[in-house]
Amino acid sequence: MTAFILAAAAYPVEQLADWDAYAAKIARWVAEAADGGARFAVFPEYAGMELTALDPVSVEDLHGSIAALGSLVERVDALHAELAMRHGMYICAGSLPVREDDGVFRNHARLFAPSGKMGTQRKIVMTRFEREEWNIGGGAPLHVFDTDLGRIGIAICYDVEFPLLVRAQVEAGATLILAPSATDSLHGYHRVRVGAQARALENQCYVVQAPVVGEAEWTPSLGISHGAAGIYGPPDLGFPADGVVAMGAMDAPGWVFGEIDPAKVAQVRAEGAVFNHRHWDEQGARVALPVVAVVELR
């Protein structure tokens, strides 16, 4: 696989007037990523909650606003699929809660290919606010996506803080892990960032954090969000000494661009000062990893 440019969004959730304003905003952001040379664009967790502004009746009702998103999911997905095809890019759309056949809402991140195909990764482990306030359920299965740019996993926000989830994706061939996030405190942001950098270290791979940023006091779902977009690798051969490939400013909206080079992953795993990836099993008794399904997304 050849190297490519990835764009990670620090994305502001705004109170938009209508669908056309939302579609124009997403199209503008994707075009800016493409103009910056990106072949891959990553939006944050719960960026899709921006759409709750389109239903003024339920916008102040947390559960009502979550339910109201259901009628828009197909339009959102069609928009992202069209933009992926137009720009020849992979796009990880902002995640949103989707009501499934059993009546439970689950947090879906959707990955769109330049072909227009879509793959979905549900968030596996719910945070307290998702469990206790939002009534969002954990999902399955765990996936890796087989793409023209290599195998890619998605560990949504809290999920990247759990080593076995990401390890399972890496053992299934992922060299790039996407960690879209939404955190309402600096503590939360740093928990996800520390998790992302730890996963990059122990698996000798790339991990990308793309957060929601800014104020959205008009919606009970997000409020104020903090974060900085970042692209991380192992602090070893071929990578920066601190493992930070690219980093944005705290709470500053915009794209952060960085190069993803699968050859560097192969090199550090073969020639690095340490072999964290190879030595995983030497921790002791092997712990069973989650089952991972491979999804073709070309």
Using alpha carbons, select from 40, 33, 49, 26 the residue that is nearest to residue 95: 49
The predicted model scores a pTM of 0.97
Q: Model confidence over 213-267: pLDDT tens digits?
A: 999 888 777 889 999 999 999 999 999 999 999 999 999 999 999 999 999 999 9
Domains, the chain, in order of start with CATH, read 4-296 (3.60.110.10)
Split at pLDDT 50, 70, 90, the class of 47 is: very high
pLDDT on residue 64: 81
129-171 pLDDT per residue, tens = 999 999 999 999 999 999 999 999 999 999 999 999 999 999 9
Q: Tens digit of pLDDT for each residue in 164-174?
A: 999 999 999 99
CA distance 97 to 205: 29
Q: Which residues pair with 178 in a beta bridge?
A: 154, 208
pLDDT in tens, 83-117: 999 999 999 999 999 999 999 999 999 999 999 99
Three-state SS annotation for 197-264: HHHHHHHCCEEEEEEEEEEECCCCCCEEECCCCEEECCCCCCCCCCCEEEECCCCCCEEEEEEECHHH
Position 187, amino acid: H
